[in-house]
Structure 1
Amino acid sequence: MIEVDVGRNIRNELRKLLKTYRPSQLDEQLTTACPFYEPENRELTSAYRLIHDMAKSKILVKLQMKLDEISVVSELPLEFGRVDGAAGNEIVLTSKDSDIFLFIEIKTGNVKLVQPAIYTILRGTKTLVAELRTGDILTINVSLAEKIVEELLEHMKAQEILRESGKKIPGSECRYCGADCEFRESVKWKWSVDPLKSLPDILGNVDTVVDKIAAEISREIQNRSKRVCEAEA
Structure 2
Amino acid sequence: MRWFLIGYPALVATIAVVFLVQYFFCLSAEAWAAWVAALGTLLAFAGTIWLATSQYRLKQKADADIAHLVAARMSGELAAMIDRVEQIQARLTFGNPAELGPAFATHVFALKPDPISALGNADRLVLLSPLPNRAAHRIARAVGMIHGFSEELEPYMNISRWQQVTAAGREHYAKKWSKQIDQIFDLLKVAQLECVKASEIGAPLPTHEEIYGPWITDLEDF
TM-score interval for Structure 1 and Structure 2 normalised by the shorter chain: under 0.3
TM-score norm. by structure 2 comes to: 0.24
Structure with the bigger percentage of helix: 2
TM-score by length of 1: 0.23
Q: Which has the higher contact order (CA 8 A, sep 6+)?
A: 2
Higher strand fraction (1 or 2)? 1
Larger radius of gyration: 2
